[in-house]
């Protein structure tokens, strides 16, 4: 019986590839970390930025801080606590694959919005194994370290899968940006940038302090590309342009297209119907409806990358934003 039990410990979970023995190693060593979770979390992220400093710029709340300053920063401490909470969730979900997958998808989704590349989680795994080794010392046996390596590989592969899916969904090409810039008016373009600017608390705070406003003379595409750049150059490099485009999301822009390009179709249809005489009204109405459907299909084809967006004629402002208030604050009218 004893031998069968030992064999049972080494049977791999078909969903994760982890054995019960490896899961137990992870649980028992994580239990040793939890009493000092706050300190370990801070050490984990500061070590990550120390080993891979280029990732720090992806975190606007503490991108400007030195490593020693981070340890005293409350926002940084809160983010570190979230990281430790997420790892605890991964450990707790080792026996429930559905929960593990959902948690990893949620983590991947949230990090995609901040444009963390998949490689970032590979580098985080290296950092996490290093910090665990330093904190646990001899208590992290080679077998336990191997179990952690395998666990993080499984979890982070699920996160990276969601990251890749979200990046494909969110990234906007320069060609698409040109189309958007050509379809919306200069005023709407400035209103869009104002709403985007309001989504970033740090930028908004800095702009209010400096009394910054968006000049009406800046061309629409330049404005969209450089909306979060404090000092905009006339000719930005391709890498910077691409970086700026990646800060915009399909959902936000699609909402604005529903207020502009597609709304334009409704206005043209309304004018056609208004000018229709009674005698030819029915025929022209049918033609107008056919024309409307054709136009909708054309626009839908052009912006087919915008997923999960309702194409309605009525204005659909960005969530939780008073567009007029933001517009008046940031735009020279």
The pLDDT-based confidence of 173 (bands split at 50, 70, 90) is very low
> Kindly report the CA angle at 318 between 314 and 320, in degrees rounded to 5?
120
Please give the torsion angle defined by the CA atoms of residues 264, 265, 266 and 270, in that order, rounded to the nearest 10 degrees.
100
Please say if the pLDDT value at position 309 is more than 80.
Answer: no
Please say if the pLDDT value at position 65 is more than 90.
Answer: no
| Cβ atoms of 306 and 251 closer than 8 Å | yes
The pLDDT value recorded for residue 110 is 79
The pLDDT-based confidence of 213 (bands split at 50, 70, 90) is very low
Which whole-number Å values give the CA distances from 252 to 108, 199, 237, 317, 318, in the listed order?
A: 20, 11, 25, 9, 6
Which is more confidently placed, 209 or 91? Answer: 91
For residues 104 and 102, what is the distance between their CA atoms, to the nearest angstrom? 5
Residue 135: closest CA among 116, 121, 148: 148
- Phi and psi (nearest 5°) for 327? -60, -45
Which is more confidently placed, 201 or 46? Answer: 46
Spatial neighbors of 112 by CB under 8 A, at least 6 apart, are 162, 163, 166, 167, 170
Please say if the pLDDT value at position 325 is more than 80.
Answer: no
Q: What is the pLDDT of residues 110-136, one digit of tens each?
A: 787 666 778 889 999 999 999 999 999
Please say if the pLDDT value at position 230 is more than 70.
Answer: no
3 state SS of 75: helix
For residues 85 and 28, what is the distance between their CA atoms, to the nearest angstrom? 16
Which is more confidently placed, 188 or 54? Answer: 54
Query: Across residues 68-75, what is the average pLDDT?
Result: 88
Q: What is the pLDDT of residues 246-296, one digit of tens each?
A: 444 444 555 444 444 445 444 554 555 555 444 444 455 555 555 555 555
Please say if the pLDDT value at position 178 is more than 60.
Answer: no
Element (H, E) at 108: helix 97-112
> Kindly report the CA angle at 280 between 278 and 286, in degrees rounded to 5?
110
Element (H, E) at 275: none
3 state SS of 331: strand
Which is more confidently placed, 144 or 291? Answer: 144
For the chain, give the percent of residues with pLDDT over 90. 24
Structure tokens at 170: 């969110």
| Cβ atoms of 136 and 33 closer than 8 Å | yes
The pLDDT value recorded for residue 59 is 80
Q: What is the pLDDT of residues 38-59, one digit of tens each?
A: 999 999 999 999 999 888 877 8
For the chain, give the percent of residues with pLDDT over 70. 47
Spatial neighbors of 310 by CB under 8 A, at least 6 apart, are 258, 316
For residues 171 and 167, what is the distance between their CA atoms, to the nearest angstrom? 6
For residues 26 and 244, what is the distance between their CA atoms, to the nearest angstrom? 40
For residues 129 and 138, what is the distance between their CA atoms, to the nearest angstrom? 13
Query: Across residues 65-87, what is the average pLDDT?
Result: 90
| Cβ atoms of 330 and 212 closer than 8 Å | yes
Q: Which of 140-149, 201-210, 245-254 has the lowest mean pLDDT?
A: 201-210
Residue 303: closest CA among 214, 202, 179: 179
For residues 274 and 271, what is the distance between their CA atoms, to the nearest angstrom? 5
For residues 286 and 275, what is the distance between their CA atoms, to the nearest angstrom? 14
Q: Positive or negative, the Cα torsion across 128, 134, 140, 145? A: positive
pTM: 0.53
């Amino acid at each position: 019986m004893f031998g069968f039990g030992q064999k049972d410990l080494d049977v791999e979970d078909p969903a994760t590839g982890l054995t019960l023995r490896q899961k137990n190693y992870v649980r028992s060593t994580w239990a040793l970390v939890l009493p000092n979770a706050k300190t370990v979390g801070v050490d984990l992220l500061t070590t990550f930025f120390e080993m891979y400093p280029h990732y720090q710029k992806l975190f606007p709340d503490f991108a400007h801080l030195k490593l020693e300053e981070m340890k005293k920063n409350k926002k940084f401490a809160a983010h570190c606590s979230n990281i430790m909470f997420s790892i605890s969730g991964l450990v707790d979900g080792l026996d429930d694959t559905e929960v593990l997958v959902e948690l990893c998808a949620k983590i991947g989704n949230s990090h995609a919005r901040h444009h963390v590349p998949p490689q970032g989680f590979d580098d985080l795994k290296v950092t996490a194994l290093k910090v665990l080794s330093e904190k646990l010392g001899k208590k992290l046996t080679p077998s336990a370290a191997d179990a952690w390596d395998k666990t993080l590989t499984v979890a982070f592969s699920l996160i990276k899968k969601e990251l890749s899916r979200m990046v494909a969904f969110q990234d906007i090409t320069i060609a698409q940006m040109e189309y958007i810039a050509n379809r919306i008016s200069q005023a709407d373009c400035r209103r869009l940038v104002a709403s985007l600017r309001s989504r970033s608390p740090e930028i908004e705070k800095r702009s209010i302090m400096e009394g910054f406003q968006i000049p009406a003379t800046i061309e629409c595409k330049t404005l969209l590309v450089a909306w979060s750049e404090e000092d905009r150059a006339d000719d930005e490099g391709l890498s910077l342009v691409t970086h700026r485009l990646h800060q915009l999301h399909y959902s936000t822009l699609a909402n604005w297209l529903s207020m502009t390009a597609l709304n334009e179709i409704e206005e043209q249809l309304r004018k056609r119907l208004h000018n229709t005489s009674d005698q030819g009204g029915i025929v022209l109405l049918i033609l107008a409806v056919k024309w409307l459907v054709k136009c909708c299909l054309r626009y839908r084809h052009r912006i087919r990358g915008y997923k999960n967006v309702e194409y309605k004629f009525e204005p659909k402002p960005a969530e939780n934003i008073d567009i007029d208030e933001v517009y008046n604050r940031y735009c020279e009218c």
